[in-house]
Amino acid sequence: MDNTLNVLSSKAGFNSALRHFKTVTQFVGQVGRGANLADLLNESLDAGKVERHQIKPILSALLEEKFEYAVRAWNLGATIEDPAPIVKVLSEWSALELVLVYHHPQTGIFVVNPKRLEHFEPIGSMVRDELAVLYVGGASDEDVKPATVAQAADDCVALLEGAKIKGKKAYVSERKASFASRPPAYTPPTSADSRPAAAAPTPSAPQATPAQSTGRMRMTARIPVNVTNELFHNGNVEAWKRIIESYKSKYTGFDVLIWYENERINDINALFKWGKVKHGTPIMISVVGENPTDISKLRRYLFEGASPRFEAFLHGAVDRTLELF
């Protein structure tokens, strides 16, 4: 039988495990004092204190084992484009803590506090058929019955699936204070590295890549690119391939996702083979990466590539990457 503690046999493995245990222990205290674990994890990811592969073990150890949250896992029945109505409802559930985990097929796992709209922004759209996992528990200073927590989890899933759900009285704190309006129940740790630095001159042009990697992948909202050629044919497809290749060559680690009629297009040749994409039809794109950049230029090139002027992108050797960005 394999020894599950083999990771501790090396100094590097032992130190990595020790850092993980310290982080989890710190989170236990903060969640116990009223912090939302999604908030903590996102702050720690941005600060480089937690890596993405630690998220699942932390969620399991704290929300399932330690605090015994109700858990619901399902594949989304519809794409969520606008989470604002969801946030509006859930922000009133002040007697409950909620953590939503969305598994994106390209960018990986996102941890969301569904009471905060800004947590949905890096995702863009939550796509139909992808995995979502919801954790629901009572707020630290509330005495919420297990049956109420279970019902709230079911109601939240229904809300995410598009149902009209109104919060029940048991979901709202008797003190009538929305969690979103309370001051934080914890104080994030500070260090010399977190002190603000002296102001630097504003650069004359935006930087192509962020100065410091945060480890968080973000996806832009879907951006329409209208087809102005009579038909999006093989020449347009080849132009798009070369434009996207040029973008990804400039910004390594980034990806360009293509959507048509709300479906993800994994093979761009399908847009030509279907013969459906005609003049005036929008094709949607979104960019995935850390702080996506040059989006307007990418959209402009793709617009030209979907027009009768697509041939401008087909010059040069087939194996040569265009220098567009």
Tens of pLDDT along 278-294?
A: 888 889 898 988 888 88
Query: Are 171 and 93 a contacting pair, CB within 8 Å?
Result: yes
- The answer as to whether 233 is a domain residue is yes
Number of domains in the chain: 2
> Does residue 73 register a pLDDT over 90?
yes
Mean pLDDT rounded to a whole number for the chain: 82
Residue 256: φ, ψ to 5°? -115, 115
Q: Find the CATH number of the domain harbouring 257.
A: 3.30.1340.10
Residue 250: φ, ψ to 5°? -75, -45
- Helix intervals (H) in 71-113: 84-90
Average pLDDT for residues 155-181, to the nearest whole number?
A: 80
Q: Count Cα neighbours of 154 within 13 Å in the Cβ-side half-sphere.
A: 7
**100 and 37 in a common domain:** yes
Average pLDDT for residues 99-127, to the nearest whole number?
A: 86
**75 and 170 in a common domain:** yes
**137 and 255 in a common domain:** no
- The three-state secondary structure class of 281 is coil
Q: Is 195 exposed, middle or buried (0-12, 13-18, 19+ CB in 10 A)?
A: exposed
Residue 209: φ, ψ to 5°? -135, 155
**166 and 40 in a common domain:** yes
pLDDT tier for residue 275 given thresholds of 50, 70 and 90: low
Closest Cα to residue 42, out of 102, 92, 130? 102
> Does residue 214 register a pLDDT over 60?
no
- Work out whether the CA dihedral 171, 177, 179, 180 comes out positive or negative: positive
- The answer as to whether 240 is a domain residue is yes
Please indicate whether residue 207 or residue 231 has the higher confidence score (pLDDT): 231
Please indicate whether residue 87 or residue 193 has the higher confidence score (pLDDT): 87
Would you give the end-to-end CA distance of the chain in angstroms?
Answer: 53
Closest Cα to residue 233, out of 316, 324, 314, 322? 314
**168 and 257 in a common domain:** no
Token output for 240: 């798009």
In percent, the amount of the chain with pLDDT more than 90 equals 45
